[in-house]
Chains A and B, each alone.
Chain A
């Protein structure tokens, strides 16, 4: 059995047998407590600065951000962005109740298909679960209402994100998942997949020179809904 051979060889190297129960208990306690290590000071700032840091970092990584005052303004912001970029007005959209409840009728020119992305989709609209100011990173856990393909297959990925869901550090996003999610298969909190997305796809494989739009989206646009009273 390879498993026994591998574990046996490791234990031989560590000069002990299977871990004694008291030590195993201490390790299980560490797993349960999942202690945080040093969190960089850059995101430990007052709320308005934290949000500004998030926006600055998205832009630093070649993403773009549009601010809207409320959820009702999202359709207009998306329509304006698509028009400004000379992009088609049809897109694939995540079947998230928050997105489906938006007043799309205000912009009748927009045509959406609700579901996962198809390879022919040029534009996708995804629901942002949370985001991390520290590096301008979107947190996109897979769920029936948040298909992973919407992060990947389109040329232009639009993410609708509420400002109240922007946290300082990655650790805070993990704690949101731990608190809010119950996985039906594992009984843990991790969904099948969590993508942390920082800017549009890129590669420097050709002559060590950065080019945007390798296999994933060439453009990443965040529609940031200013729903956080502490932010202003």
Chain B
């Protein structure tokens, strides 16, 4: 997928002015925190489970080489095949090679962020194979030629009128004057259209939420059932999975599954949690005859042993973006690549480079909400700060920012002067803003005041106030 992350600021400006997107953001924003909070409240052990989830993932990463090899051995024992792929090119080639060998014409697909990362659809199309996205959200995005804007609700940024318009345009064999009375009618139409495609497909491609070393299984978690139809009906099942999906045992996967749905959608458990292990067994009446796992690295192994290793714990629940004030202001497309929100702000620079993705870790107020809801306790603000440091070290930070930071640092290293200057500034701003208590505009601060008012200081600095309170014996 082509990254537009370097244009984050322009993307965000457009997003803020996009009425349809803002309508969708406003509609969705309050839902996620409320649903997650209710699910967490109903499970008193949730906080303990977060520690357990973190520890399972840390244990796995510390022995990732061992578990990958053990898992691969078990996949092969169950009649499956593992394709080790260092790069996106390797993975695309592996998928195409399988599809070509079985003369695939159409390929159905379950929702997979790795697939987006690798650009599988474009690659298949270039080689004359038709990919069909079957997740409802991914399906409409494919019709509209748009990337997903959220890792589990890929099309939440669309409104009902967008769905109706796209379906009328795409499903031309249906009466043009049909009426969509309810959302259910839209969904039923997609269900009918896709049924035929499920049955016709030669290959089904899914992602994986987990890989299990003990059994050689891959796990998918869905609510629609499309992933299961994708991997059950065609003759060949290809799993796209990145190396950090690994967990040792079914028990380890089970503990993480207790965290996943609650963190993601506020469900206790997703509707379909499916463990796939190898090929159709003798006597089975359905299921694929070939089972392939395209195991993708694409930059992840290089994160092991760095300050970004914690990011490999991520189970892609989306809780961080669901609780992020920045994400819910600018939407997912602004981030310009596959993974938006706080987890994307940390992962994207690792995978496509800080030179391209430098804006993302800067697009945070460090409010800390993401870390507080992360089911595996990834210190997302700290990792974003690491990226800011790397960006600064590599002189990628814009000149104006660097010179302002240098000016601030000059003052900050001279505490006496710093206090005098801030006291004077606070007093002057406080006097200037004494009537309204805020500023609609200020010279040199347009970047702030264009979007919101700057509250006027109350005439005092923090230091002065702290000293006063201390003298009064209150602190």
Contacts and interface: CB of A to CB of B under 8 A. Distances in A.
Interface of A: 1-3, 5-7, 9-15, 18-19, 23-24, 27-28, 30-31, 34-38, 40-42, 57, 61, 95, 115-116, 119, 134-135, 137, 142-144, 147-149, 151-153, 170-171, 174, 183-209, 211, 213-217
Contacts of A14: 62, 64-65, 304-305
Nearest to B299: A9
Contacts of A2: 84-86, 90, 297
A119 B195 contact: yes
Interface stretch (B249-257, B362-370, B381-389, B435-443): B249-257
Contacts of B159: 207
A192 B280 contact: yes
A186 B77 contact: yes
Which one of B67, B85, B225 has the greatest number of beta carbons of chain A within 10 Å?
B225
A188 B270 CA distance: 26
Contacts of A1: 84
Contacts of A15: 305
Contacts of B306: 13
B281 interface: yes
Given A37-B52, A149-B233, A207-B159, 20 more contacts: A9-B302, A23-B63, A27-B66, A27-B67, A27-B70, A41-B45, A142-B281, A144-B285, A185-B281, A191-B281, A193-B287, A198-B269, A204-B153, A205-B135, A205-B140, A206-B160, A206-B187, A208-B24, A215-B224, A215-B225
B321 interface: no
B70 A11 contact: no
B252 A9 contact: no
B426 interface: no
Contacts of A142: 281, 284, 286-287
B68 interface: yes
8 contacts: A61-B267, A142-B281, A186-B78, A188-B215, A198-B269, A203-B136, A207-B27, A208-B153
B191 A215 contact: yes
Given A37-B255, A188-B78, A31 B214 contact: yes
B272 A197 contact: yes
B285 A192 contact: no
Interface of B: 24, 27-28, 31, 43-45, 48-49, 52, 56, 62-70, 74, 77-79, 84-86, 90, 134-137, 140, 153-156, 158-160, 163, 183-184, 186-188, 191, 194-195, 198-199, 213-217, 223-226, 228-229, 232-233, 243, 248-252, 254-255, 257-258, 265, 267-287, 295, 297, 301-306, 309
Question: 4 tightest A-B contacts by CB?
Answer: A216-B225, A13-B304, A13-B305, A144-B283
B224 A198 contact: no
Contacts, number: 291
Contacts of B191: 213-215
Contacts of A143: 281, 283-284
Which one of B68, B243, B297, B309 has the greatest number of beta carbons of chain A within 10 Å?
B297
A192 B160 contact: no
Given A2-B86, A38-B255, A211-B183, A185 B278 contact: yes
A144 B250 contact: no
B194 A215 contact: yes
A207 B271 CA distance: 19
A108 to B, nearest CB: 26
